[in-house]
Structure 1
Amino acid sequence: MERNMTQHRVLSRDLALAVLLVGSLIAPRLVAREQPASSAAAPAVQPGRGAAQGPTVTSPEVRRDRRVTFRILAPAAQKVELRSPGDIPGVGGRGAALPQLTKNADGIWEATFGPLPAGAYRYVFVVDGLTVVDARNPATSQTNTTVYSLAVVPGSDLFDTKNVPHGAVAAVHYNSTALGGIRRMHIYTPPGYETSRDRYPVLYLLHGAGDVDDSWTSVGRAGFILDNLIAASSAKPMIVVMPAGHVNGAGAALGGSVPVAAAEGIPGIGSGPDPFANDFMTDLMPYVEKNYRVLTDRQSRAIAGLSMGGNQTLNIAIPHLDKFAYIGVFSSGSAFR
């Protein structure tokens, strides 16, 4: 899978959830002139009309030479820094000082990095100590502790957005009887799925400890990778299911909260039963096979996982070799249950 996912750094669990920096526009006061009593009343000023407009801010700006400029409007700020979980070369990393942005006369802070290799890069701003996402950028990527803004630098045959038929990625919620709560997963369906009656092989793709079910398709670019591979006849059209691997903590809240009693420990690590594996076999896989046109024979079913997801893959697949013909484990320890 993509470089940014396979070289993923585990984030500290005490990182606060990123918050949006909210600005407000204050309309200038309108001073009314005194009018004679007999004159008609002045027309009312419509709300928002005549309000001062701030400068235009473009962020991130990705140039053709793969240099990227990050900007934020914060005229009253004293210091603005850029933080990344190790994705952007020279930004972030344990113990490394955060690079500072420079403010111009309009109150816009900016910094330029690169040229950067083609890839997807997560980042946030730190404004006078407050961590905020980029309000000018709608693209985000979740982790098990926070939300990052996402900048994509093109230049890869594998994950660029190309003029090829595209599949669809959906956030799907299901009820977990095993965990006692509503859970979330992301599901990729290949081009033509909505208009065909075909059944497809299925890959269950499990994320690492620092990620959530959103990560494969946001920073991992999984949907575009699959589109490009299928268009090049390098992969068969398939359905890819990306579950939420965490069953407790902040990551579980993104995937759907569950009772603490049902989610003791980190799934796939340590001793005792794996609550995620129980949910997978009891609720998640049956939901997929009931609601999606997946082939259900062993030769048409695969499972793979990264790091924590690799342990979970072993926990699920080894006891059920009659159900999975293909098993992939990446950057994972060998402690499985």
Structure 2
Amino acid sequence: MTASSRWILALSLFASPALAAPQQGPGARPPEFSSPEVKEDRTVVVRLFAPEADEVRFSSSDLPSDTPFGRGVAMTKDDRGVWEATLGPVPPGSYRYTFQVDGIPVVDPRNPTTSESNMNTWSLVTVPGSPVSDLKDVPHGAVAEVHYRSESLDRFRRMHVYTPPGYESGEGEYPVLYLLHGATDSDASWSSVGRAGLVLDNLIAAGEAEPMIVVMPMGHTGPFSFGPGGSSFERQMEEFVTDFIADVRPLVERTYRVSDDRRHRAIAGLSMGGAQTLEIAMRQLADYGYVGVFSSGVFGLDRQGPGGGGDARGPSWQQRHQAALDDPDLRDGLHLLWFATGREDFLLNTTRATVDLFKEKGFDVTFEETDGGHTWINWREHYLPDFARQLFR
């Protein structure tokens, strides 16, 4: 057989479906299917090809825990080796998920949309229908991934920055909101699962929020765990606050056209980011006109021990910030101190204790005790838009 004949035979074998189609079994090419599939009735079908697996479960910490699918769903396998589960109807919004394949978490290989956390990545599915976080036909701003060198931590770091529609071609200064994420998440979380850019686009287009710059820094300074006695949390809290004050905010103020007065500077955060928000704000209260705390407060304030309650290792949070808490000029210049936490949230008592402390000190505090728990449904669909509507007015 000549060389050209061998090439013709090889090409014909490759082109013939009957001859080239792989057989089922280990290493086989998966059949055609899509995942996730979002249907008009807001049910979501997820699928995974895993012919050798004994068990596959759908898992998501973002879905409502009081629904049949909120704590995970066992998937069923068909004769092609494709596992499938139907969820819903699912409330509008974005949700992170993974598959547990014989106990091992994996992302959905058919879904290119992901959400990065501090130490892992999630698949991400969006169910349309949200009045605040849907992609709509309105002017859009931009979310940039910004790398910088943190001199205080002696390493490169990253943050995400939203600029409103018209910023690049316009002039003038803008107010700024520093928006902090929660424990185990990353600087990408607010713009992926939190859809902060789209939330602001929609609010600005509707005239419900002022055009603003939103800075979303990385709140972790390394691999994270609460650790014995909360040592990792406490260490990273101090490292992040130092990085924020010495590096993040100065970089933003050098690079972006942001206002430099208190009336046009806000800071807010969820969960861990809410605790960081209070720490930063109370160290520099003269610099912030608006402070938002979502599903959080001073950790430990509702009990004795590590954190806000103080212990033998050092003064309590209240003792450390006594001067700011007692200064009437700092207090009177704060336009908004806003808390929101769900009634099913495990940090509700922490929020209540923190609100009580500020009220005892004479602060004008707004506290929204809402439905729901410690989930992105509250932070994305309610707390961020509700807080943003009150800023810089």
Q: What pairs up with 1:1-337 in 2 under 5 angstroms?
A: 35=1, 41-43=5-7, 45=10, 49-50=14-15, 51-52=20-21, 54-87=30-63, 89-91=67-69, 93=71, 98-250=72-224, 265-267=232-234, 274-334=238-298, 335=308, 336=317
| Whole-Å separation in 2 of the counterparts to 1:295 and 1:71 | 48
Shift of 1:139: 1.3
Preserved contact between residue 267 and residue 312 of structure 1 (Cα < 8 Å): no
| Whole-Å separation in 1 of the counterparts to 2:119 and 2:13 | 37
Shift of 1:210: 3.2
Shift of 1:319: 2.2
Could you report, residue by residue, the CA deviation over 1:217-260 in whole angstroms, capped at 9, with x for unpaired residues? Answer: 11111111111001101011111001111123159xxxxxxxxx
| Whole-Å separation in 2 of the counterparts to 1:125 and 1:216 | 23
Matching residue's letter, 1:81:
R
Preserved contact between residue 69 and residue 88 of structure 2 (Cα < 8 Å): no
How many residue pairs align between the two structures? 282
Preserved contact between residue 147 and residue 158 of structure 2 (Cα < 8 Å): yes
Matching residue's letter, 2:232:
G
Query: Greater RCO between the two (CA within 8 Å, min separation 6)?
Result: 1
SS of equivalent residue, structure 1 residue 312: helix
| Whole-Å separation in 2 of the counterparts to 1:329 and 1:80 | 37
So what's the TM-score if we normalise by structure 2?
A: 0.66
Matching residue's letter, 1:293:
R
Matching residue's letter, 1:90:
P
| Whole-Å separation in 2 of the counterparts to 1:40 and 1:60 | 45
So what's the TM-score if we normalise by structure 1?
A: 0.77
Shift of 1:77: 2.4
Could you report, residue by residue, the CA deviation over 1:128-184 in whole angstroms, capped at 9, with x for unpaired residues? Answer: 332110111111112334221111111111111111111111221111111111111
Matching residue's letter, 2:181:
H
Greater fraction of residues in helix? 2
Matching residue's letter, 1:333:
G
Matching residue's letter, 1:247:
T
Q: Which runs of 5+ in 1 are unaligned?
A: 1-34, 252-263
CA RMSD of aligned residues (A): 2.5
Segments of 4+ in structure 1 off by > 6 A? none
Q: Which runs of 5+ in 2 are unaligned?
A: 22-28, 226-230, 299-307, 309-316, 321-393
The equivalent residue for 1:7 is none
The equivalent residue for 2:355 is none
Identity %: 52
